[in-house]
Chain A
Amino acid sequence: MLGVVPASLFFVFLSKIPVVGRGDAFKEVYPWLSELGIGLSFNLDGLSLFFALLVTGVGALIMIYAGYYMRSYQKTNRFFGYLVFFMAGMLGLVTASDWITLFMFWEFTSISSFMLIGFKHEKTAAREAALQALLITGVGGLALLAGLIMMSLPYHSFSFEAVISDPQPFLQSSLFVPATILIMIGAFTKSAIFPFHFWLPGAMQAPSPVSAFLHSATMVKAGIYLLARLHPVMESQELWIYTLSVFGVVTMFVGAWFALAQQDLKKILAYTTVSALGTMVLLIGTSTAYSVTAALVFLLVHAFYKATLFMMAGNIEKITGTRDMNQLGQLNRYMPVATVISLLALLSMSGIPPMIGFIGKELMYEAKLNAPAAGNFILLTGFLANAFTVFVSLRFAYGVFWGEKQGFKKQPHEPDVSLLAGPAVLVFISLLLGIFPNQIAGLLGPAFQSILPGETLIKLKLWHGFNEILLLSFLTVLLGVVMFFCRKAIIRIVSYLNGNYFNLKLSQRFFAGIDVFLNLTKRKTAVVQHGYHRFYLMTIFIAAALLLILTMPAIDFQFDFDLKFNGLAFFAMLAAIMIIAGSIAVVVAQSRLVALIATGFVGIGITIVFVLYSGVDLAITMVMVETLTVVLGAMVVYHLPKYLNYSGVGSRIRDGFVAVFFGFVMGFLALQTSKPTTITKISDYFVENSYTKAFGENIVNVILVDFRALDTLGEIVVLALAAIGIVSLLKLNAQKKSSR
């Protein structure tokens, strides 16, 4: 039923094909932070439409397939939730028309991919694979965001149009190189390009519909989409062309190589997907009319056959209980329809007429023959990779549907109609388009224009006549077949080489790296968060003192230095002596009671200062507070153990230094504040209005109960809370005692 939504969207997008060439098919802008030029904006151009059709079209078929496939699973509602979430994210990604929107949806797809890979979360392998995919695509996403922001800086706008219509400010900016590299890292992680390719085979832990949809047909193409989107900006940049070509070629070859000796059907498909993604990156990097046409056609072709094959792999696993090639064989007897569908898809994958895969491969060869740089090398690796693909397809077909008969646990039978419908439709379209390829020219044309404006799409045809390209195709198939006949030797050699020389195990390395990182952060935490409150406090005080010194204006020593000893000043001196003596007593006291009484003594000294300098209300309150504090303290101290000196001499001296330093800084701060200022005082308002508006003579009191009455209410609440806290702390004690 869920298939209805993407299907209807598919038809909506389909109806847009005729208008999309005009460039105003669909445009939506929702401003958000308009000062920063951030908002949601969408635009449907040729490239977007191409991908949108792919997402919704394949999506609809996958939904139908998954509806039956997932019946045996638990919590399928969650599964479909993630799947729809992904589809929305992917649609947003391909229709976005500014970089921030694109990035946001980019992350949506990463997260939904994580959820879907880890759907069988009770399996450790699935959880690890999901985490690995998330971390890699997540790091790539961050790199992408940084790159996109760097790219947009010269424009003060994040829209595609700004940079695409006028790339020069970006190309000339000093951030061009870092921005380009970061963006490419983003695209490479998403599209599983070497050396980030290893998350994709791991992602095969996901249920088959997910592998078919996210990890072959759509999500991994997001990186390709981004590269295609940026192509008009970068097409003449050497950094761009060479990086894409090199990484594309390497990925194309590495993927095909590792596909050779795999036994797991889904792993085989995953590695050929890696190879295909590398091919697409290479084709975009080559940047000719041929290569871009080839990239688009191949993208479509690949989505069709790979989604089909993943669905078929899922069907086979469902029916026989295994997807290990060694345990499969002779399935053509039990499931003839499935066999035919799979064979057609494999033909398309091998690039054999009349499937559309053939056209894709012809175009690829043509593009490589016309490649400007290092053409021969690219042609050779491409030829080998294609031959490997042919070999893998043959192995797949023979090993699963013919080969030796195996004893199955369950009697195999034809998969359910709804499990075959999706693959059948895709294969049928592949066949149809292979015969009438120009039916999609209307779709590919505008997409092509978005990538390579100014040139025209190469005309697609099934038959090119006898030329070198056809010869190449023929040789590819021939090499694949020859390899197939010596498959035992080849598999042994490849396995040997993989085990001994190409034993990269990037996935394990990745997790080892994560472990190292976690240990590092643990150690860092142990150092910074040591758990000793004294050192936290010390850090805070030293930092505060240093910051205060930094912010203090140039210190001048023009202070009022005269100490008077007559009149009030005499009493002030006495109070100061009282305070200092009391403080020293507190520090050196060996008895907690003495310390407490000395504290009270200091409090009374401060009270005297308040009295002397016109703080009458303060003095009254202070006397009460001090008395209560000392009484309460005495009651508590009575229950505590003897006053002990825990610290050694060294730490005392150290703490003394910190304390004196902080004291000095605060003293200086006090002197600074004592200087007369010309700033209008807030208190003037209170002085003027105290009697006239609030009818109170004592201005301090009026401020408390009238002007700042709400603060005072808050203060009362704090006191009440403290009282409740105290009572509950004491009550808790009583209850515990009684329970004992």
Chain B
Amino acid sequence: MSLLMAILIGFLYAVSIYLLLRRSIVKLVIGILFLSYATNLMLFFTGGLTETSPAFAEPISTSELATASDPLPQALILTALVIGFGVAAFSMVLIYRFYKESGTVDLDELSEIEKS
């Protein structure tokens, strides 16, 4: 399944970059969301794909643990997810404010406002 996952990751990155390069600030924010999707999936993938065996530590048996999924990438992704949510929420409110102040959602227009 590695190939499928790799294709997915590459695809998500491509979509994210494409969106980040748009002029509309709304697409930019969605691009940020996709960037974190892609990166989280990548991290998850580096931990190895383990089917139906979450990382739980049993008091007694330690033999099973060798086959359990890697907990560290998951812990990292968990942190990233929550931070990503904070960033997404903040940036959404920011574009809302941005539009209220500037009257545009076109970033190129903003550059021109800045220059003049």
Measured CB to CB, the residues of A under 8 A from B are 530-534, 537-538, 541, 559-561, 563-564, 568-569, 572-573, 576, 579-580, 583, 586-587, 592, 595-596, 599, 602-603, 606, 609-610, 612-618, 621-622, 625, 628-629, 632-633, 636-637, 639-641, 643-644, 646-647, 655-656, 658-660, 662-671, 673-674, 681-683, 686-688, 690-691, 696-700, 702-704, 708, 711-712, 715, 718-719, 721-723, 725-726, 729-730, 732-733
With known contacts A618-B77, A659-B21, A683-B71, A632–B89 Cβ distance under 8 A: yes
Query: What residues of B have a CB within 8 angstroms of the CB of A615 in the complex?
Result: 44, 54, 69, 74, 77
Contact B107 A534 (CB under 8 A): yes
Alpha-carbon separation in the docked complex, A686 to B18 (Å): 38
Query: What residues of B have a CB within 8 angstroms of the CB of A715 in the complex?
Result: 79, 82-83
With known contacts A563-B1, A646-B23, A699-B71, A659–B17 Cβ distance under 8 A: yes
Query: What residues of A have a CB within 8 angstroms of the CB of B19 in the complex?
Result: 586-587
Q: Which of A576, A596, A666 contacts B13 (CB 8 A)?
A: A666
Contact A628 B85 (CB under 8 A): yes
Query: What residues of B have a CB within 8 angstroms of the CB of A662 in the complex?
Result: 13-14, 17
Query: What residues of B have a CB within 8 angstroms of the CB of A595 in the complex?
Result: 26-27, 30
With known contacts A538-B21, A561-B3, A670-B5, A532–B97 Cβ distance under 8 A: no
Query: What residues of B have a CB within 8 angstroms of the CB of A688 in the complex?
Result: 62
Q: How far is the CB of A319 from chain B (nearest CB, A)?
A: 56
Contact B71 A632 (CB under 8 A): no
Q: How far is the CB of A157 from chain B (nearest CB, A)?
A: 48
With known contacts A614-B52, A636-B92, A621–B6 Cβ distance under 8 A: no
Alpha-carbon separation in the docked complex, A666 to B53 (Å): 27
Query: What residues of B have a CB within 8 angstroms of the CB of A613 in the complex?
Result: 44, 49-51, 69
28 residue pairs of the A-B complex, CB under 8 angstroms, read A531-B114, A534-B20, A559-B6, A560-B1, A560-B3, A573-B4, A576-B4, A606-B40, A609-B41, A613-B44, A613-B50, A614-B51, A615-B54, A618-B78, A632-B88, A639-B96, A640-B96, A658-B18, A663-B13, A663-B14, A668-B10, A670-B46, A671-B6, A698-B56, A699-B55, A699-B56, A712-B79, A729-B94
Contact B44 A596 (CB under 8 A): no
With known contacts A592-B26, A647-B22, A656-B18, A616–B7 Cβ distance under 8 A: no
Task: Say what secondary structure dominates the interface of chain A.
Answer: helix
Contact A674 B45 (CB under 8 A): yes
Q: Which of B5, B54, B59, B93 contacts A614 (CB 8 A)?
A: B54
Q: How far is the CB of B110 from chain A (nearest CB, A)?
A: 9
Contact A640 B82 (CB under 8 A): no
Contact A612 B74 (CB under 8 A): no
Contact B18 A711 (CB under 8 A): no
Contact B21 A641 (CB under 8 A): no
Q: How far is the CB of B8 from chain A (nearest CB, A)?
A: 6
Contact B10 A532 (CB under 8 A): no
With known contacts A576-B8, A629-B89, A568–B94 Cβ distance under 8 A: no
Closest to B85 in A: A625
Alpha-carbon separation in the docked complex, A625 to B82 (Å): 7
Interface centre among B14, B24, B94 (most CB of A within 10 A): B14
Closest to A686 in B: B71
Contact B34 A602 (CB under 8 A): yes
Contact B18 A655 (CB under 8 A): yes
Q: How far is the CB of A245 from chain B (nearest CB, A)?
A: 56
Contact B1 A687 (CB under 8 A): no
Contact A637 B26 (CB under 8 A): yes
Contact B89 A722 (CB under 8 A): yes
Contact B33 A599 (CB under 8 A): yes
Query: What residues of B have a CB within 8 angstroms of the CB of A658 in the complex?
Result: 17-18, 21
Query: What residues of A have a CB within 8 angstroms of the CB of B8 in the complex?
Result: 576, 579-580, 609
Contact A602 B37 (CB under 8 A): yes
Alpha-carbon separation in the docked complex, A639 to B2 (Å): 42
Contact B17 A663 (CB under 8 A): yes
Alpha-carbon separation in the docked complex, A385 to B6 (Å): 82
With known contacts A569-B1, A719-B86, A682–B72 Cβ distance under 8 A: yes
Contact B85 A629 (CB under 8 A): yes
Alpha-carbon separation in the docked complex, A460 to B78 (Å): 87
Query: What residues of B have a CB within 8 angstroms of the CB of A568 in the complex?
Result: 51-52
Contact B93 A636 (CB under 8 A): yes
Q: How far is the CB of B111 from chain A (nearest CB, A)?
A: 4
Q: How far is the CB of A300 from chain B (nearest CB, A)?
A: 60
Closest to A730 in B: B93
Q: How far is the CB of B103 from chain A (nearest CB, A)?
A: 9
With known contacts A629-B33, A659-B18, A697-B58, A704–B24 Cβ distance under 8 A: no
Q: How far is the CB of A737 from chain B (nearest CB, A)?
A: 9
Alpha-carbon separation in the docked complex, A666 to B107 (Å): 27
Q: Which of A541, A560, A660, A702 contacts B2 (CB 8 A)?
A: A560
Q: How far is the CB of B2 from chain A (nearest CB, A)?
A: 4
Q: Which of A563, A592, A621, A700 contacts B55 (CB 8 A)?
A: A700
Alpha-carbon separation in the docked complex, A326 to B5 (Å): 90
Alpha-carbon separation in the docked complex, A670 to B1 (Å): 12
Query: What residues of A have a CB within 8 angstroms of the CB of B71 in the complex?
Result: 683, 686-687, 690, 699-700, 703
Contact B9 A666 (CB under 8 A): yes
Contact B57 A625 (CB under 8 A): no
Alpha-carbon separation in the docked complex, A732 to B89 (Å): 17
Query: What residues of A have a CB within 8 angstroms of the CB of B11 in the complex?
Result: 579-580, 583, 663, 667
Contact B111 A531 (CB under 8 A): yes
Q: Which of A583, A614, A683, A699 contacts B15 (CB 8 A)?
A: A583
Contact A729 B97 (CB under 8 A): yes
A618-B74, A719-B86 known; 5 new pairs, CB 8 Å cut-off, are: A658-B18, A659-B14, A687-B65, A722-B87, A733-B97
Contact B4 A733 (CB under 8 A): no
Alpha-carbon separation in the docked complex, A688 to B62 (Å): 8
Alpha-carbon separation in the docked complex, A372 to B28 (Å): 76
Q: Which of A618, A644, A730 contacts B24 (CB 8 A)?
A: A644
Alpha-carbon separation in the docked complex, A703 to B73 (Å): 10
Alpha-carbon separation in the docked complex, A219 to B19 (Å): 61
Closest to B25 in A: A640
With known contacts A629-B85, A655-B18, A663–B94 Cβ distance under 8 A: no
Q: Which of A532, A617, A697, A726 contacts B78 (CB 8 A)?
A: A617
Q: How far is the CB of A590 from chain B (nearest CB, A)?
A: 12
Contact A572 B4 (CB under 8 A): yes
Alpha-carbon separation in the docked complex, A690 to B58 (Å): 9
**Closest 10 CB pairs between A and B?**
A667-B10, A663-B14, A722-B86, A646-B23, A614-B69, A659-B18, A683-B72, A659-B17, A703-B75, A699-B71
Q: How far is the CB of A149 from chain B (nearest CB, A)?
A: 43
With known contacts A531-B111, A563-B3, A658-B21, A670–B45 Cβ distance under 8 A: yes
